[in-house]
Each structure stands twice: as structure tokens, then as C-alpha cells.
Amino acid sequence: MHFELFPKDTYVSRRRKLSELVGSGLILLMGNEDAAMNYADNCYPFRQDSSFLYYFGLDLTGVAGIIDVDSGREILFGDDPGIDFIIWTGTLPTMAEMAGEVGVITTRPYADLGKLLSEAAGSGRTIHYLPPYRNANLLKLSEWLRQPVAAIKAGHSLSLVRSVIHQRSHKEPREVDAIEKAVSISADMHFTAMHQARPGMKEYELASKVQEVSHAAGGRLSYPIILTVNGHILHNHYYGNTLLDGQMVLVDAGAEESMHYAGDLTRTFPVGRRFSNQQREIYEIVLSSLEKATQMLAPGVRFIDVHARACEELLTGLKAIGLFKGDPAEGVEAGAHTLFFQCGLGHMMGLDVHDMEDLGEQYVGYTEQLGKRKDFGWKSLRLGRELEPGYVLTVEPGIYMIPELMDRWKAENKLASFINYDQLEAYRNFSGIRIENNFLITEDGYHRFGKYLPSGVDEIEAIREEYLAGMA
Amino acid sequence: MHFELFPKDTYVSRRRKLSELVGSGLILLMGNEDAAMNYADNCYPFRQDSSFLYYFGLDLTGVAGIIDVDSGREILFGDDPGIDFIIWTGTLPTMAEMAGEVGVITTRPYADLGKLLSEAAGSGRTIHYLPPYRNANLLKLSEWLRQPVAAIKAGHSLSLVRSVIHQRSHKEPREVDAIEKAVSISADMHFTAMHQARPGMKEYELASKVQEVSHAAGGRLSYPIILTVNGHILHNHYYGNTLLDGQMVLVDAGAEESMHYAGDLTRTFPVGRRFSNQQREIYEIVLSSLEKATQMLAPGVRFIDVHARACEELLTGLKAIGLFKGDPAEGVEAGAHTLFFQCGLGHMMGLDVHDMEDLGEQYVGYTEQLGKRKDFGWKSLRLGRELEPGYVLTVEPGIYMIPELMDRWKAENKLASFINYDQLEAYRNFSGIRIENNFLITEDGYHRFGKYLPSGVDEIEAIREEYLAGMA
């Protein structure tokens, strides 16, 4: 088989539990298809749907699974390879053999799926499906269930969504092992960046080396690399700048290991041998925020409170260097931190780097009692709910000096009782700093994932010093 | 600007010519959107539509262009970045500025496009659009033109398709330069593979190094790398095997340079220092086929005849080693070569590695007089038509020993007067060999693209010898 699986029982018991949680009806879990890049047959690298992987495991195109909760029957739909497939793509085990590996007895040709669903819908049965994020699956559902795409988008099963989130949020020991591996590969990607950056290099040259590490380990990237001298642009995927001495490089990069579990780490380091004084001051503030947040990680703690505490720590540090004035806690209450930290402190991580984001952030990261805020900064916090053992998440504070945002706030004199706008000018071209680690919530606290990756100023400068001295 | 453009006049004159060719109506050219990988916001690397790039140049999401052939008016649709975009993605020039760079005066918000098209369709104007290969664009067209997706799929403009193919098939000097660059980067990818392969390595380890070369040059892959010890699987994207001494590695890999022109090269070389005798014999046959085909490249020659000649050369060589019997030309006529060479000899190449495949192979590679054949082997020949100066294409003969196909033919005693089935058994686990170069058709012959990349047995063995001796 060209993909890895957990032992059969893993999938059997996950599906059994899912059936219990959903209670009745037909559960449909669709696999993904190849996605066209610049024409139908030049595809992006195949990525299976994460929920399909979780319950049915098969890491290939052209498959879907049905769980009939009422009868207990499970069916995997897919076709055995014909001679054309063998010539172009190679041999595969039969569908029956592959289904057997994940504990499913019944298989049927893929073409039967539409008919089965049309009939089930016609006879009034509830068909539970997840929100389709790929248009190919949206179009199939629209055809099979004979509803316009808008109705299909609105018609996903909230009961299924909540049940899948409940299961996937609590990582099993095997999943924790896979994430440990993914984060360690991710750490190697960052070691490579820290060891090989040199002034004069293009961002894409360094990014190509970072990417190589994930692929050479038998995996891939869990998201497009952010590797930039403009760290204040949060999701920057432009790599055309030249690294200059005096600048910092922000690298936000993670590996997806061979079973598709993600890592997601960020480090920021000087292009030259040392941080400037200004850079070091801000760096230490971000690092202190990361440490304070990390210390709070434990079951029962709301992540929205961790976020607030991390923001308070950022403002405390910014006060010490004269950019913020007043009480840090009050500043956070008023939203003053969002001039510097416009996004959220972290998110769930697992088979997706933003785990289960396709199922809806409000269900993954919040509860009926705790809704997501809608105001600037807070609206970008993907996780707010009380932490539970088995949750896996990132913590990634940062300080981002965004000239357009600074100008906009200053023009409005926004929160002027908290912000020293005059002092801020010296940071107009500062760019940004982010530091990010990944954690498992345990019964009594947390576990930091992956091999040790330096984040202290001295450690990072020592690595840069050693490498650049070797180059000289 | 975060992307490169040709001089403004390039786009202006391409659009003027397109208007002349199409003659009347509204021409719509849609850009691509980001494509979801495992949830909406974790996207595959953005790839702009090639025809949009060709006529409007803008390499970003959220844009589309209209050419009103009747009034001569051109409009680019797209939105200026707001503050959220700036925070997450960075600043961009305004739409008006970017449109100016490609010679378009009028810009309008993207939301206006649907209204304009609905009105134009309502008033009975012809709207020319290309076949949508991305579901996102299919769904938009379905909404704007108020037609079901099946009708949209069937409703693309053949006049626009033929006109675009006519223009894009004849490469301009600037395009030739870009392809030269892409093929030279591709050659570097193959040098890396030949220099760094060693017994015991995983395919994915070597593939990661090959990929790095394309990214480090500021580009990307023009298609997913094929790097395999099972070269007989034509489009093999599994990289999990270990390279073993005695095996060969087939590497089919190409770069897309920064303006998105493709290279597409293949080499096959031994994992160890030397080819085995069996491997060398087959290799020389494939190389001879490549040479014979190359010598034929010139304006006025039908590529289907080059394909036939290459196949004849393969059978001539296979006769010499006892796998084929009878007259090679008659063998090709009967299809005997398709047991060994199941695909086509080459294809057009440009902004797409299979250039313009989204527009329809029958129009790109064939003519009204010369239709595509439907029989095994021939049906996979993407290019058959008479060559013209400015065409850019690949030549890629191969010999592939596919056990399932051998067994099937032998069981049917298929073409037994041509095939020595008994002798063939010794090649059951041979795998496959392909050698591929890229060419421009000139006024009086051809130009081979890119820096020199060895294909001779002695040259390749010398590289392997040198590298592995250094390792020892």
C-alpha cells in the first residue's frame, strides 16, 4: 500500500463512537479529488480530506464512506484500478483489500454512491454531511441530493460537525506520537533556516531549503511557508526580497508528516550575527509573552484568558520601552494591544494545521456559552474555549509594526491615552516578530511538542555567529 | 509589484490580435482563485490561469478581464486592498496602477463583473469564454450567466479557443527566452538528481533535492516530479521506495520559471555506477529513437509522422535484441510498439507544461483534417499536426515493461507474429526508460532548449562513477 494506516481497530472504534454521538441517519464522509492547477490533468499534490482520513484512513482519490447509523452498516465506495490506471498510476490493492485494512466489510463502485444517496434522500432519511470546502464535492452533493449549491452549503449536519469535532479535538496517544514527529521535523526546518540564512540571499533560496527538509523526511509542508524580512505581514507568501544585514527573518513553517499530522512553528532571527538593540527589546517582550502564556496551559483554563494574559504581557513590555502608557490590563480591555498584535494567540492543531477549520471555528474553538468576539484583533482568535486533556494547540504571540495601521490609528487619534504615537515613529520600518511553539494539554498541565528549538536571544545569536563565522 | 510582466505593448498587441481573430462579441478571460487544500484558508500555492497571464499578465487572485470586441473597450475587474488585506497579505499597487502596466485603462470592482455579464447575456450579446477547468470559475459562470453547470461546460466559445491556441502556439522571442531559462533550471534539477542519488536513499529524499533547485531559482515545479525506480509507471507520484544498486532511477521533472513558462525533461540513470547490460541495451534503443525523432523536427513535418518514426526505431532496436520480429514499419502499423511505448512522443509546451491542454487536445495538437486516433497508444499522442516555426514541444520516447500489460497481451496471444513473448519474460521486472528534451521549431529546423544535459550512456556513467567514488 502506498500510504500508512493505524491499526484497524483505531478506525473501527472511531466510527462506532461517531455513530453513537450522531444517533441516527446516514453519515456521509467524502474523500477529496485531485485539484486542477493550470489544467485538469496537471494537479496539485493530492491531499485527502482530514475527517475522511480520521474515520476511513484511505489516502487516495475516488473514495467515500457511508455509515448507516440505524442499521450499523458501513460501505466504502471506490473502484478497482483498470489497465489504464495501472499504466499511468501503478497497481493498487483492490478496494475490498484496502477496506479490510480499516475494518470495513462492504465495498461498492463509486458510481453507486449517488444512486444510494438520491434514494435515501427520496425516502426521507437524514443524510449527515460535513460542510464542503472543495467545489468538486459541493457539485457532487448538489447533483446527488438534487439541491442547488446554496442549499447544499447551508444543509450540512450540525450534529455531525459537533460529533467529529468532539472526537478529533481529543488526540489519541497514536496521534500525539505522529504530532511529535511532525513538530520535530518542523524544528529541523527551522534549524536549517537559522543555520543557512546569509546576507544577500533571496528569501526563496532560503525557503527552498526549509521546504526540502519536510519533503526529505517523507512528508510535506502543512501550510505554505512564511519566510520573510517583512514579518509584520501576517500571512506573507512573497519570497522575492533579498536578506539584508540588519534585518530579521521571520520563518513560520511546519511539516506535515507522512500520516498528515501537522507541525506549526515560528522563529524570528537576525540576518546578521546579532539582533539590534531595538530588535532585541521587542524580541524579549514577545518571548516573555510566550512564556507567560505557556505557564497557564492546563485543563480548565479558557484559552481566551491565556490570550488576554499574553496581550497584557506584550503591553507591559511595550510600556517599559515607552510605546504604551497606562495600565496594561486596561489597555487589553480597550483593545490597545491590537495595534501591535492584530491576530489570535493560537489555534487547535492536528490533521489540519488549523485543526478542523473547515467545520467552523465557532464550534472548534468556542462553545454555546462562549461565542467568538467580532471586534478587531479578537475576531481573529480562533480558540477561546476551556482547555481539555488531549487538546493540541499552538501559542504564537507577536508584535507587528504595520505602517498603514499605525497611520490609520494615529490619524484617528485612536486610544491616544494608551499609545505613545510619537515614540512609535521609530518603529515604522521595524517589521515584526513572532515566536511559536506547539503543545499538548495533559491531565495536569502541558507537554511541549518536538525536539528542542532555541528561542532565547543568546542561543539564536550563537547559532548565527557560528554559521556566519564559518562563512567568513 | 510582486510579479514580473513583459513590456506593456506585449499585452496590448496580443489583445488587439485576439480581438481581430474573434471578430465580435465580448471576450471574458477569468483569473484563477486560491484553491482549498484541506480547508478554505489553507490553500495550494496560487497558480494564475495561463491564458489570463498571456493577455492580461496580472499574477494575482480576484481578477478577470473583458475585451469588448465590438466597441474596442477593455476592462480589468478587481478590488483595491483594504486594511484586512494589508495586515494579512501586504500592500499592493492599486488596480488602476496594475492595469496600467498591461495597457488597460478601465478598471472596475470585481462585483461589477457578474452584473455586466448578466446584462450582456440578457441583451443577447455573445459572451466568449474558455472551457473552465476550475470548479470555482464554473460556479461563477453558472451564476452570472444563469445557466446550469452542464450548460456552462458545453457553452464555451470555439472561436475563442481556436484564436487563443493560434496565438499561444507561436511563441514570441520573449517567450522563447523564458522557456530557455525554464529548461536550463530543469537541467540543473536533473544534474542534482544524477549527482546526488545513492543506493539506500529514499525516492523522496532525492525528489526533495530536485524540487529545491526549482524553488531556489525563484520558480517552482511545472508539474509534480516523477522520480521512481518503477519508471514503467508513466505518471508515478509515489516516492516511498528505496533506491537499490542495480536499479535505474527515472526522473521526469521540470521547472516553471518566475513568469510561469515550463520546462519538462526526463533522464534515466543507474542507482549504482553503471547500467547493467540489459539496461544499457534498452537505453541505447530509446536514445536512438530520440535522435531519429529530433532529426526530423522542422516546419511542415507532421508530428504524428515523427511519432511513427520514433516507434519504428524502437521496434528496430527491440528486433536486434530479439523482443520484436518482422518488419518494424509494419509493426508500428499494427500497433506492436504499444506494448512497450504506450503513450505519445511529445506535446506542446509553454505557459503550461502540456500547453493549452485545458483548451482541448484536439484543437491544440490536431486539425480538422487530422483527427486524433482513438486506438491504444495513439490515443495518448497529444500532438499530431504539422509543425510550424514558433512551436515549442517535447520529444520523449521510452520503453516501459508493464507486467500487467505483458500478461494481458500474452494471454490473448496478441500480435504474436511481432512479439517474442518467451524472450519478454526476462524483462518482467525491467521497469522503464524515458529520455526527453525540449525543442523550438525554427524557420529551417529546430533549437534544443536549455543548457547541455548529458544523455549518453558513457557521460551518465561518468557522472555516477565520479559521485559514488567520492562517497566511497
pLDDT tens digits, one per residue of A336-352? 999 999 999 999 999 99
How many residue contacts between A and B have a Cβ separation below 8 Å? 172
- A313 to chain B, closest Cα gap in Å: 22
- Cell numbers describing residue A373: 468576539
Nearest to B42 among A238, A240, A353 (CB): A353
- A444 to chain B, closest Cα gap in Å: 32
pLDDT at A472: 65
Please answer yes or no on whether A209 and B218 come within 8 Å at the CB atom: no
In whole angstroms, give the CA distance from residue B159 to residue B385: 19
Nearest to A86 among B135, B356, B402 (CB): B402
Please answer yes or no on whether A89 and B233 come within 8 Å at the CB atom: yes
A138 touches chain B (CB under 8 A): yes
pLDDT at A237: 83
Distance spanning both ends of chain A, measured CA to CA:
49
In Å, what is the CA distance from A152 to each residue of A112, A155, B143, B253, B324?
A: 20, 5, 15, 40, 57
Q: Which residues of A fall within a CB distance of 8 Å from B46?
A: 237
B39 touches chain A (CB under 8 A): yes
User: A 141-160 residues with CB below 8 A of B?
Assistant: 149
Is the pLDDT confidence value at B441 over 70?
Answer: yes
In Å, what is the CA distance from A172 to each residue of A384, A392, B225, B364?
A: 22, 11, 34, 52
- Let me know: does A4 contact A258? Beta carbons within 8 Å: yes
Please answer yes or no on whether A205 and B211 come within 8 Å at the CB atom: no
pLDDT at B472: 65
Average pLDDT over residues B38-64: 97
Please answer yes or no on whether B39 and A354 come within 8 Å at the CB atom: yes
Give ipTM to 2 decimals.
0.95
- Three-class SS of residue A311? helix
| Residue B244, number of CB atoms within 10 A of its CB | 12
**Total number of residues shown for chain A:** 472
Assign domain B173-471 to its CATH superfamily: Creatinase/methionine aminopeptidase superfamily (3.90.230.10)
Please answer yes or no on whether A49 and B42 come within 8 Å at the CB atom: no
pLDDT at B81: 86
Nearest-Cα residue of chain B relative to residue A359: B39
Query: What is the per-residue pLDDT across B127-173, written as a single tens digit (0 to 9) for each?
Result: 999 999 999 999 999 999 999 999 999 999 999 999 999 999 999 99
Nearest to A47 among B37, B149, B352 (CB): B37
In whole angstroms, give the CA distance from residue A9 to residue A11: 5
Q: Which residues of B fall within a CB distance of 8 Å from A37?
A: 35, 44, 47
Please answer yes or no on whether B236 and A50 come within 8 Å at the CB atom: no
- A402 to chain B, closest Cα gap in Å: 7
Nearest-Cα residue of chain A relative to residue B214: A208
Nearest to B238 among A90, A136, A223 (CB): A90
Give the H or E element holding residue B448.
strand B446-448
Instruction: Give A170's Cβ-side CA count (13 Å radius).
Output: 12
Residues with Cβ within 8 Å of B150's Cβ and at least 6 positions away in sequence, in order, are: none
pLDDT at B468: 85
Is the pLDDT confidence value at B345 over 90?
Answer: yes
Residue type, A359: L
B124: left (phi over 0), alpha (psi -120 to 50) or beta: left
pLDDT at B312: 98
In whole angstroms, give the CA distance from residue A207 to residue A253: 9
In whole angstroms, give the CA distance from residue B267 to residue B454: 9
pLDDT at B86: 85
In whole angstroms, give the CA distance from residue A328 to residue A314: 8
Q: DSSP of B19-64, one letter per residue?
A: HHHH-SSEEEEEPP---EEEETTEEPPP---HHHHHHH---SSS-E
- Cell numbers describing residue B469: 567514488
Query: What is the per-residue pLDDT across B88-140, written as a single tens digit (0 to 9) for each?
Result: 888 889 999 999 999 999 999 999 999 999 999 999 999 999 999 999 999 99
Please answer yes or no on whether B38 and A45 come within 8 Å at the CB atom: no
In whole angstroms, give the CA distance from residue A319 to residue B62: 41
Please answer yes or no on whether A38 and B45 come within 8 Å at the CB atom: no
- B71 to chain A, closest Cα gap in Å: 31
- Let me know: does B219 contact B182? Beta carbons within 8 Å: yes
Residues with Cβ within 8 Å of A365's Cβ and at least 6 positions away in sequence, in order, are: A303, A347, A348, A372, A381, A382, A383, A384, A385
Residue type, B124: G
In whole angstroms, give the CA distance from residue B403 to residue B429: 7
Average pLDDT over residues A202-214: 97
User: B 273-332 residues with CB below 8 A of A?
Assistant: none
Q: In what order do the strands lie in the sheet with A392-395?
A: A392-395, A437-441, A446-448
User: A 202-261 residues with CB below 8 A of B?
Assistant: 202, 204-205, 207-209, 211-216, 218, 223-224, 230, 233-238, 240
Which residue bears the cell 501550510? A223
SS3 string, B152-206, reads HHHCCCHHHHHHHHHHHHCCCHHHHHHHHHHHHHHHHHHHHHHHHCCCCCEHHHH
SS3 string, chain A, reads CCCCCCCHHHHHHHHHHHHHHHCCCEEEEECCCCCEEEECCEECCCCCCHHHHHHHCCCCCCCEEEEECCCCEEEEECCCCCHHHHHHHCCCCCHHHHHHHCCCCEEECCHHHHHHHHHHHHCCCCEECCCCCCHHHHHHHHHHCCCCHHHHHHCCCHHHHHHHHHHHHCCCHHHHHHHHHHHHHHHHHHHHHHHHCCCCCEHHHHHHHHHHHHHHCCCEECCCCEEECCCCCCCCCCCCCECCCCCEEEEEECEECCCCCECCEEEEEECCCCCCHHHHHHHHHHHHHHHHHHHHCCCCCEHHHHHHHHHHHHHHHHHHCCCECCCHHHHHHHCHHHHCCCCCCCCECCCCCCCCHHHCHHHHHCCCCCCCCCCCCHHHCCCCCECCCCCEEEECCEEECCHHHHHHHHHHCCCCCCECHHHHHHHCCCCEEECEEEEEECCCCEEECCCCCCCCHHHHHHHHHHHHHHHC
Residue in B1, B38, B46 to test binding to A, most A beta-carbons within 10 Å = B38
Burial class of residue B82, CB neighbours in 10 A (0-12, 13-18, 19+): exposed
- From A262, A76, A169, A257, select the one nearest B204 (Cα to Cα): A257
In whole angstroms, give the CA distance from residue A240 to residue A197: 15
In whole angstroms, give the CA distance from residue A250 to residue A226: 7
Query: What's the mean per-residue pLDDT of chain A?
Result: 96
pLDDT at A470: 82
- B435 to chain A, closest Cα gap in Å: 17
B471 touches chain A (CB under 8 A): no
B428 touches chain A (CB under 8 A): no
Q: Which residues of A fall within a CB distance of 8 Å from B91?
A: 404
- Three-class SS of residue B123? coil
In whole angstroms, give the CA distance from residue B64 to residue B61: 9
Is the pLDDT confidence value at B344 over 70?
Answer: yes
User: B 340-369 residues with CB below 8 A of A?
Assistant: 342, 351-354, 356-358
- A259 to chain B, closest Cα gap in Å: 13
Q: Which residues of A fall within a CB distance of 8 Å from B235?
A: 88-89
Assign domain B8-169 to its CATH superfamily: Creatinase/prolidase N-terminal domain (3.40.350.10)
Residues with Cβ within 8 Å of A321's Cβ and at least 6 positions away in sequence, in order, are: A281, A282, A285
- B38 to chain A, closest Cα gap in Å: 6
DSSP category for residue B449: -
Nearest-Cα residue of chain A relative to residue B221: A44
pLDDT at B20: 98
- Lowest-pLDDT choice from A223-237, B200-214, B403-417, B437-451: A223-237
- Let me know: does A226 contact A252? Beta carbons within 8 Å: yes
In whole angstroms, give the CA distance from residue A208 to residue B425: 43
pLDDT at A277: 98
Where do the domains of chain A lie?
A: 8-169, 173-471
Please answer yes or no on whether B212 and A207 come within 8 Å at the CB atom: no
In Å, what is the CA distance from A234 to each residue of A49, A210, A229, B90?
A: 26, 19, 12, 8
Please answer yes or no on whether A204 and B218 come within 8 Å at the CB atom: yes
- Let me know: does A343 contact A398? Beta carbons within 8 Å: yes
- B444 to chain A, closest Cα gap in Å: 32
Please answer yes or no on whether B87 and A204 come within 8 Å at the CB atom: no
Please answer yes or no on whether B135 and A138 come within 8 Å at the CB atom: yes
- Let me know: does A280 contact A270? Beta carbons within 8 Å: no
C-alpha torsion sign, points B383, B388, B393, B397:
positive
- B210 to chain A, closest Cα gap in Å: 9
pLDDT at A98: 97
Burial class of residue B248, CB neighbours in 10 A (0-12, 13-18, 19+): buried
- Three-class SS of residue A121? helix
In whole angstroms, give the CA distance from residue A347 to residue B329: 65
- From A175, A155, A226, A162, select the one nearest A368 (Cα to Cα): A162
In whole angstroms, give the CA distance from residue B219 to residue A208: 10
Alpha helix stretches (DSSP H) within B365-456: 403-412, 421-424
Q: What are phi and psi of B37, to 5 degrees?
A: -95, -80
Residue type, A322: G
